[in-house]
Amino acid sequence: MNKFNIDEYKIMETIIGSNLYGTNTPTSDEDFAGIFIAPASYLFGLKDIKELDLSLISKNELGKNTADAVDRKFYELRRFMNLAYKNNPNITELLFIPNKFLEFDTDYYKLIRGNAYSFLSKNFIYDAFMGYANSQRHKMIIKKEHYEGLFAAQEYFKNNETEEYFVEFARNRTVPFLSENKKHFMIGDLQFQKHLLMRKVKTMIDERLGRITNRVELVLAHGYDTKFASHLIRLLYEGVELLRTGKIVFPLTYADILLDIKNGKYKLSEIMEMAENLEDEMRTAKENSELPEKASFKFVNQLTINLIKMFYDYN
């Protein structure tokens, strides 16, 4: 347990997600992220801390966040600077937050934001944003039969509590939603190792379905998860923007396109074509980018040292 008051150590806090992007709706959650400098006992002692999750959890009977839920996550400065140097997409966004979105601001954050360009490198941007986009592409596609199989399994397991291993469960029962190959059991679009405990299997199914509970009709109508599709296209747009201009402007200038995607106004084939075109743009933008091949680790490291010294008034 980390027993310290975050308000004494945070150097910035901002709203993030759809409210930052300009894709929020009246039912959108409010998500927050921030940066803090670790207490001295963590800097100089044996204790370590990288992140601090202060989210307020409030879920309905379907396992989805209610309006009372608040995602609120803080990154310790050294963790933040390391991820920013690697151009992690979620962290890189925090380098460019306009004042109007900031919940809390300090001269320490102003110094980071003022040097945002020094964190950027075209190789890291390309690899990180393309990689994160591809992970969203993988998550977004769920065929109707896969959804129906997962839903059938979830309903079955609600009424059949068991502490068995999956291989024992499969040996003793015949259920229509389950198939297997030499190494795995399959339910819907999920693969499971055969010696997983059934409670782990149930958790994985609940998590997979929990991602799309509010968008079932859109998923079944289009064959893809519209929220993950919007993240896919956003990440590619952001990557292109960074490589071309060295910054991200919030709210996003392409927010209307992302909102239309989230609302299911595009077919899967159109999303895939849009993604392919943006990937081509990203490759071209990387070739023509004026950003360095690699940012200066020495600069980012020294800036981190300077910020900690300033915070603790150490000369």
For residues 191 and 303, membership in a common domain is answered with no
pLDDT for the residue numbered 62: 42
For residues 81 and 14, membership in a common domain is answered with yes
Answer whether residue 176 is part of any domain.
yes
What distance in Å separates the CA atoms of residue 236 and residue 278, rounded to the nearest whole number?
A: 6
Smallest Cα–Cα separation from 33: which of 57, 62, 53?
53
Judge whether 49 and 2 are in contact, CB under 8 Å. yes
What distance in Å separates the CA atoms of residue 116 and residue 77, rounded to the nearest whole number?
A: 15
Give 302 or 228, the one with higher predicted confidence. 302
For residues 166 and 229, membership in a common domain is answered with no
Residue 275 in this model has a pLDDT that exceeds 80: yes
Sheet architecture: strand order including 179-180: 179-180, 184-187, 190-193
List, in order, residues 6 or more apart from 250 with CB less than 8 Å away: 20, 21, 22, 93, 96, 97, 98, 101
State how many domains the chain has: 3
Sheet architecture: strand order including 10-16: 51-53, 71-76, 31-36, 10-16, 102-104
- Residue 182 pLDDT level (bands cut at 50, 70, 90): confident
pLDDT for the residue numbered 292: 97
Smallest Cα–Cα separation from 35: which of 20, 16, 13?
13
- Domain span at residue 279 reads 121-142+215-292
For residues 99 and 177, membership in a common domain is answered with no
Residue 39 in this model has a pLDDT that exceeds 90: yes
Domain ends where: 167, 184, 211?
211
Answer whether residue 197 is part of any domain.
yes
Q: What are the start-end ranges of the H helices in the chain?
A: 18-21, 40-44, 77-85, 89-92, 107-114, 122-140, 144-158, 166-172, 198-210, 216-222, 226-245, 255-262, 268-288, 297-311
Query: Rounded mean pLDDT of 30-43?
Result: 95
- How far is it between the farthest Cα atoms of the chain? 71
pLDDT for the residue numbered 174: 85
CA 217 from chain center: how many Å? Answer: 23
Answer whether residue 270 is part of any domain.
yes
Give 139 or 155, the one with higher predicted confidence. 155
Residue 315 in this model has a pLDDT that exceeds 50: yes
Answer whether residue 85 is part of any domain.
yes
Query: Rounded mean pLDDT of 296-312?
Result: 97
Query: Rounded mean pLDDT of 226-254?
Result: 97
For residues 138 and 268, membership in a common domain is answered with yes
Residue 145: which region, alpha, beta or left (left: phi > 0; alpha: psi -120 to 50)?
alpha
Average pLDDT taken over every residue of the chain:
90
- Residue 27 pLDDT level (bands cut at 50, 70, 90): confident
What distance in Å separates the CA atoms of residue 236 and residue 240, rounded to the nearest whole number?
A: 6
- Residue 214 pLDDT level (bands cut at 50, 70, 90): low
- Residue 131 pLDDT level (bands cut at 50, 70, 90): very high
Smallest Cα–Cα separation from 125: which of 287, 298, 302, 8?
287
For residues 106 and 21, membership in a common domain is answered with yes
pLDDT for the residue numbered 219: 74
- The least confident of 7-16, 54-63, 143-152, 304-313 is 54-63
Judge whether 157 and 177 are in contact, CB under 8 Å. no
What tokens were used for 96? 């460019």
Residue 58 in this model has a pLDDT that exceeds 60: no
Whichever domain contains 60, its CATH number is 3.30.460
pLDDT for the residue numbered 61: 45
Domain ends where: 182, 211, 240?
211
Query: Rounded mean pLDDT of 41-63?
Result: 77
Query: Rounded mean pLDDT of 189-210?
Result: 88
Give the three-state DSSP class for 214: helix
- Residue 70 pLDDT level (bands cut at 50, 70, 90): confident
Q: 297-308 burial, b for 16+ CB within 10 Å, e for fewer?
A: eeebeebbeebb
- Residue 60 pLDDT level (bands cut at 50, 70, 90): very low
Residue 64 in this model has a pLDDT that exceeds 60: no
What distance in Å separates the CA atoms of residue 224 and residue 266, rounded to the nearest whole number?
A: 10
- Percent of the chain clearing pLDDT 90 (strictly above): 63
- Residue 5 pLDDT level (bands cut at 50, 70, 90): very high
Residue 144 in this model has a pLDDT that exceeds 90: no
